[in-house]
Amino acid sequence: MKKGYIQVYIGDGKGKTTAAIGLTIRAIGAGLKVAFFQFFKTGSSSEVKILKSFYPKIYYKNFGKKGFIKDQINEKTKNKVLQGWEELKELVKSRTYNIIVLDEISFALDWGIIGLKEFLDFLKNKPEDLEIIITGRSAPQELIEIADLVTEMKKIKHYYEKGIKARKGIEK
């Protein structure tokens, strides 16, 4: 790609991580290479083995453990997220990938694990031809401003409200 953009997917509706997976699959179908970094997740979700099977077209790595509740975030999880952040910066320097997905990274901003200014500087200084995909529940205004594309996945209705739990192959 000549020029890479910054895409942000936020909101309370289903479809953010799945859209990032879909983008990854489309990209490799066009011969692009994708690094898929997943934060606060264990890598146990059903799609992960498929993504990994495309290595080295897709480089998948997860940093964190299950759960998105702030009080459950301990030092170990924080350190994993920070490890991911350091690896990410090295990865960008390698110029190996056309697209980098930062799944759920906005939680690291929300919870002050990665500093907002540092993250924005990272985006501002990204290689011109690198596309970055960011997902999470919400995004600070400064991130929305710097992004080239923002979609809000808005929950109109969700079966969780009926008490249906996450299902293998659908949510996990």
Contact residues for a copy of itself (CB under 8 A)? Answer: 1, 5, 7, 9, 11, 13-23, 25-32, 45-51, 98, 131, 144, 147-159, 162, 164, 167-170, 172
Total length of the chain: 172
**Residue 16: its H or E element:** helix 16-29
| Residue 64 burial (10 A CB sphere; 0-12, 13-18, 19+) | buried
Nearer to a copy of itself, 25 or 91 (CB): 25
130's tokens: 């690198």
Look-up: residue for tokens 């939680």?
A: 107
Minimal distance, residue 56 CB to a copy of itself, in Å: 15
Minimal distance, residue 78 CB to a copy of itself, in Å: 27
CA 63 to chain centre: 11
**Residue 83: its H or E element:** helix 75-94
Nearer to a copy of itself, 28 or 120 (CB): 28
Nearer to a copy of itself, 51 or 73 (CB): 51
Minimal distance, residue 138 CB to a copy of itself, in Å: 12
Nearer to a copy of itself, 44 or 72 (CB): 44
Minimal distance, residue 116 CB to a copy of itself, in Å: 18
Of the candidates 29, 18, 40, the one whose C-alpha atom is nearest the C-alpha of residue 133 is: 18
